[in-house]
Structure 1
Amino acid sequence: MPCDKSANADPKKEFFIDVITMDIDYPDCILDLIDNSVDAYTRSEIDDPQIRVTFGEDSLEIYDNCGGISEHDLLNTVFRFGGHVAHDSTDTLGIYGVGLKRAIFKIGNAFEFETYDGVNHNIVYENDLSEWKTRDDDEDGKWRFKVRAGAELDQETHGFSELRITKLKDSYKKMVTLDAKIIEEISIKYVLFMNRGLSFWVDNLKIEPLFNFEVLSNEYLQPSVKLLEKDGLKVKIVCTYNPRESLRSEREEGRYGWNVFCNDRLILLSNTTKETGWGELGNIAFHQLYYPFCGYVFINSHDVRKLPVKTTKNGLVTSDNTYKFILNEMWNQATPVLKYLRTSRLMDEETLIKDAEKSANEKVLQDSKLARSNADQKSIFSMNEKASFKAPDMKPKRKELTKIQYSRPTVQVDKVKRKLGAESNKKVGELTFDLFYDEECDDA
């Protein structure tokens, strides 16, 4: 029989906070805080947008001049666990409204969050988070932080936000190389935003982007471009090859493998693992032959919850059905490039030109130079029309050939064939010979 009794299911502050901070590292916490400033940037139109991170002896400060937060959002949404400020016209990074609070509790025991939106200047603060976690809730059951009005500012002051975390945890203080780690992560994760003009600073050091988004494109070499929409997501896939990666001794990050972005934040950098389909579902496994391959994938949505990205934003949810659909399209675009690399076996420019001169093949010489011309660098963001991959024929005149025949166990041959993505036993022999020759023989 129904009755007027009920069982209390309210969460305990301390337990809830301990759970959400348990499995996240300090660098990811700081990146979550930076994401909030990046979201403010995407919603603003200002000159010289900046995000500054300052590591103090007993403080961490993150400042941005990207417009501030409205008083309504500050008091009702920003500090709610699970509160997400919705903006239908922008693609933001915050997912579940947890990152700001989780980072504060993970890093220190006190904080001040100061923001000015051009009208209201407020400071949300708490001086003892350890005590706050054990404090009884207010009478209405809500969890609250203190708020005070900020000083009156000049009307010309542009909107800003600044978070100051103090009384740092001992475990945080022991992270002696944390600043260097954050510098590296910023140059990677926010590379697209930096290329668009958002500047990042760590302890007054301006961070440079890891790479730009220009690729070779001309009448001889044309990247493939695929645009599609699926379940509220807009996706752009660009695939090409980078000739300079063919024999580079040290690989240039962002210039090979798959580079995957979600709402413009880099999630996977130069990925050559199963996460982007290598060696999965009949796709070829990655091999050094494919270092010149380069793919860029941009997945965007106004509803950040639809993105196939983990809550820590350092990987993709590979079981997501929409991502599986995108992955299939990625490999549809990659296949012609990878096939070209297998059949043409790109050589470095010096060798290619030398062979072309020896064979008097002027077209090879011309194509190789044009395909590598810096004047033909184009931004992939200017490529907004569907296009198929096209590349020059860079095979020099056939030299005198000697036939080689040998036998090996079928199981071993099949395994090598899968690794190389070779379509025949003959191709296995050719590729393995070529790989050995490139590694061990002097062609001088």
Structure 2
Amino acid sequence: MVTNIIEGNPTKKFFIEMITRDISIEDAIIDLLDNSIDGANRINPSNYSGLNIYLTVNKDYFEIKDNCGGFSIDTAKRYAFRFGRPEDAPKGNGTVGRFGIGMKRSLFKIGKNFIVESQSKQDAFKVEVDVDDWSKKVRTIKNEDGTSDIIDDWSFTYIEIPNTGKADGTSISITNLNSEVGNLFADEGFLTTLADNIQKLLNFSLQKGLTIHLNGKPLSGKRVELLLSNNTTPYHIEGIINNVRYKLIAGLGGIGEPKLSGWYIYCNNRLVLEADTSSITGWGVQPIPKWHINYVMFRGILFLDSEETLNLPLTTTKKGIDATSEVYKAILPLMKNGMIKVFEFLKKIPQMGDEANDYRTMLWENTSKIGAVELKALNFSNAAKIFIAPPLDTDIIARKKSTVRIAYDVAKQTAEAAKEHAEAKSYKELGETTFDYYLKLEEIANEECDGIEL
């Protein structure tokens, strides 16, 4: 009998009470949303239209359900319910899960009783867990010397269920919520913050057509936009480092909210750093200056993608960048170079004196914009490493001061039909066409508008 052995086995209490402390409630919920999005990505990586996630959050109950493909019993047995990622686990295939603890950590963080049901093309099953009972579950193992030991049993029991015939997907319901969680879920302020975080962190997936409903209300992605036109082109460079594909874009954004200025970093389409102006993204590190209001229009977007998620420079909470990563250290100089190119232009705007803000406003309102999803798909190959700045034309400002901008929202389907009927090439041209039509309809096209009641 071997006697010089020191056991290093983990305990369930450590996992339930300690590992869950490393994650906030919001992040636990977004971790579960990530799992649904991973399913959507397996269905169609380029378009999530028709795929939905429904969140129900209140003081007594939490539920997340989707129609994003589900997962099989084999996946549940071999990977999904394992504590940690087995060495034989397949590559992440563009997911953001890294260590194999996300779903379990989130479930234990939220409550004491949970049910996981999943239906896939292969089969359907249900796992029902009382956490307090599971924490006491043990099994007996026989030793070679005939003695026996009692150890923690980390297994879960599943039952196969009939295929419902509905769309494949997964549902998770949690009751007997942990006390601090129930109190949070009853707070309208928390729900507002949760909605805001979902719309920011998962904006890329929302822009690709996924719909996330929070307590019956559909959420929309907060669009990250840069200026792009014939005379305004962002700096761009892309490549591969250590099996990580990167696409780096630096250019100009709006001036309305200074807090939107900075770098946006996506890992496998998940926003992990938003509007960052810290030293992590090079600000205040020579030769880059600290952020100043003169740089309010700066927008940088870095896309990092890898089939193997462990290659990405993600922190364990997936809300930050590991600055010590060799991949990120190799890309940071490229980010700084892009900043330098854009700053050369931005430093000239304050020299316009009183007209500087008018120029910034005019530039934003009268230049075409492009969102992050479209930017990632756009081929910049002919403009690599080049930043084309717009003209610093004060005469344009003078002309624009005598005009106003009219904006309104309509249903996209209606706007598309109107644009096609009017043979307009853009929504801007459609707006001009409809306004001209109104003037002609009122028979005032050749009259001065001042003083005329329409």
- Report the TM range for the smaller structure's normalisation: 0.7 to 0.9
Q: Deviations over 1:339-376 (max 9, x none)?
A: 2111343869x947999xxxxxxxxxxx9978853556
In the alignment, which residue of structure 1 is the partner of 2:375? 380
Alignment of 1:246-257 (within 5 A): 248=256, 250-251=257-258, 253=260, 256-257=261-262
Tell whether the 8 Å contact from 1:195 to 1:212 is kept in structure 2 after alignment. Answer: no
Q: Which amino acid aligns with 1:333?
A: G
Task: Classify 1:152/1:16 alpha carbon distance in 2 versus 1 (closer, same or farther; 3 Å).
Answer: closer
1:168 aligns with 2:177: yes
In the alignment, which residue of structure 2 is the partner of 1:35? 34
Q: 2-side partners of 1:79 and 1:178: how far apart?
A: 29
Alignment of 1:31-70 (within 5 A): 31-45=30-44, 48-70=50-72
> In the TM superposition, what is the alpha-carbon distance from 1:17 to its structure 2 partner?
2.8
Q: 2-side partners of 1:137 and 1:288: how far apart?
A: 63
Q: Which amino acid aligns with 1:78?
A: A
In the alignment, which residue of structure 1 is the partner of 2:337? 332
Q: 2-side partners of 1:346 and 1:146: how far apart?
A: 70
| TM-score, normalising length: structure 1 | 0.77
Alignment of 1:286-325 (within 5 A): 286-325=291-330
Task: Specify the SS of the correspondent of 2:264.
Answer: strand
Q: Deviations over 1:117-147 (max 9, x none)?
A: 0331100111x21232133246496511121
Task: Specify the SS of the correspondent of 2:93.
Answer: coil
In the alignment, which residue of structure 1 is the partner of 2:275? 270
Q: 1-side partners of 2:53 and 2:89: how far apart?
A: 22
In the alignment, which residue of structure 2 is the partner of 1:416? none
Task: Classify 1:195/1:273 alpha carbon distance in 2 versus 1 (closer, same or farther; 3 Å).
Answer: same
> In the TM superposition, what is the alpha-carbon distance from 1:89 to its structure 2 partner?
7.7
Q: 1-side partners of 2:242 and 2:205: how far apart?
A: 25
1:196 aligns with 2:208: yes
The equivalent position to 1:111 in structure 2, one of 114, 123, 140, is 114
Q: 1-side partners of 2:19 and 2:59: how far apart?
A: 26
Task: Specify the SS of the correspondent of 1:338.
Answer: helix
Task: Classify 1:375/1:8 alpha carbon distance in 2 versus 1 (closer, same or farther; 3 Å).
Answer: closer
Tell whether the 8 Å contact from 2:229 to 2:368 is kept in structure 1 after alignment. Answer: no
Task: Classify 1:329/1:113 alpha carbon distance in 2 versus 1 (closer, same or farther; 3 Å).
Answer: same
Tell whether the 8 Å contact from 1:109 to 1:167 is kept in structure 2 after alignment. Answer: yes
Tell whether the 8 Å contact from 2:248 to 2:303 is kept in structure 1 after alignment. Answer: yes
1:393 aligns with 2:391: yes
In the alignment, which residue of structure 2 is the partner of 1:146? 157
Q: 1-side partners of 2:234 and 2:270: how far apart?
A: 22
In the alignment, which residue of structure 2 is the partner of 1:100? 103
Q: Which amino acid aligns with 2:321?
A: L
Q: 2-side partners of 1:163 and 1:68: how far apart?
A: 11
Task: Specify the SS of the correspondent of 1:345.
Answer: helix
Task: Classify 1:131/1:352 alpha carbon distance in 2 versus 1 (closer, same or farther; 3 Å).
Answer: closer
Q: Any stretches of 5+ residues in structure 1 without a counterpart? A: 356-366, 398-444
Tell whether the 8 Å contact from 2:49 to 2:208 is kept in structure 1 after alignment. Answer: no
The equivalent position to 2:126 in structure 1, one of 123, 127, 138, is 123
Task: Specify the SS of the correspondent of 2:291.
Answer: coil
Task: Classify 1:393/1:315 alpha carbon distance in 2 versus 1 (closer, same or farther; 3 Å).
Answer: same
Tell whether the 8 Å contact from 1:368 to 1:394 is kept in structure 2 after alignment. Answer: no
| TM-score, normalising length: structure 2 | 0.76
Q: Any stretches of 5+ residues in structure 2 without a counterpart? A: 143-150, 396-454
Tell whether the 8 Å contact from 1:309 to 1:315 is kept in structure 2 after alignment. Answer: yes
> In the TM superposition, what is the alpha-carbon distance from 1:178 to its structure 2 partner?
2.9
Query: Pairwise CA RMSD of aligned residues?
Result: 2.8
* Number of positions where the alignment pairs a residue of Structure 1 with one of Structure 2: 374
